[in-house]
Chain A
Amino acid sequence: EAGVAQSPRYKIIEKRQSVAFWCNPISGHATLYWYQQILGQGPKLLIQFQNNGVVDDSQLPKDRFSAERLKGVDSTLKIQPAKLEDSAVYLCASSLGAINGQYFGPGTRLTVT
């Protein structure tokens, strides 16, 4: 069974630029999550989708971050404009449902200079 795929794996941008991350969940997984992991900290949930609807985006900085999950499969997370404090690893996870275990992708390491 293929795991959660993410791209790109690494990205370096300057502050005020925009960036987008892509996630392809495990086939059949209805629930998709985006987490932000700052160096030395545990992951923090940014947004949770159930199929193509948003379940929880309470910790998403909506003035600069946006996410979508078209057709309930792939998802894109965008930052525009980026700030220095956005430097982190962005992890995507998926699960069969909210009560099932989550499977994580390898993450995208973002560096904002």
Chain B
Amino acid sequence: KQEVTQIPAALSVPEGENLVLNCSFTDSAIYNLQWFRQDPGKGLTSLLLIQSSQREQTSGRLNASLDKSSGRSTLYIAASQPGDSATYLCAVDENQGGKLIFGQGTELSVKP
């Protein structure tokens, strides 16, 4: 059974720092991996989607990497801003069926 884990559960950094969020999964046979952002009281916003054949994806200050063999993904945020404060979730799709299995999220707080 696939399990997705995110560490740490919460992270607080000063503005301007570069930071890394971690995601690990137990079964490397995945179709893709996604990173989402969730603001309080709101739904999820997709940030980056990495197909199983890819190693990384970039969007602006965000870079996500995927290492299937080790069951790990990282989300790198450069030059963090207070507006980046949110909960970040990773999710894997195992069989191209759309069923996402989520980690529990990392709550990020960026202090001005």
- Determine whether A72 belongs to the interface, using a CB cutoff of 8 Å to chain B: no
List residues 44-70 of chain B with CB under 8 A from any CB of chain A. 44-46, 49
Chain A hits for B98, CB < 8 A: 31, 33, 48, 55, 95, 97-99, 102
Q: Which residue of A lies closest to B31 (CB)?
A: A99
Q: Which residue of A lies closest to B42 (CB)?
A: A106
Query: For the complex, what is the distance from the CA of A104 to the CA of B46, rounded to whole Å?
Result: 9
By size class, the interface of chain B is 20 to 34
Query: What is the CB-to-nearest-CB distance from B93 to chain A, in angstroms, rounded to a whole number?
Result: 8
B43 touches A102 (CB 8 A): no
Query: What is the CB-to-nearest-CB distance from B81 to chain A, in angstroms, rounded to a whole number?
Result: 23
List residues 37-83 of chain A with CB under 8 A from any CB of chain B. 40-45, 48, 55-56
Sample (24) of A-B pairs whose CB atoms are under 8 Å apart? A31-B98, A42-B4, A42-B91, A42-B103, A42-B105, A43-B102, A48-B97, A55-B97, A55-B98, A56-B99, A93-B43, A93-B44, A95-B98, A97-B98, A98-B97, A99-B31, A99-B98, A101-B34, A101-B49, A102-B46, A102-B98, A104-B36, A104-B45, A107-B43
Given contacts A41-B104, A42-B89, A55-B98, 20 further A-B contacts (CB under 8 A): A4-B43, A31-B98, A40-B104, A42-B103, A43-B44, A45-B100, A45-B101, A48-B97, A48-B98, A48-B99, A56-B97, A56-B99, A91-B43, A93-B43, A93-B44, A101-B34, A101-B49, A102-B46, A104-B43, A106-B41
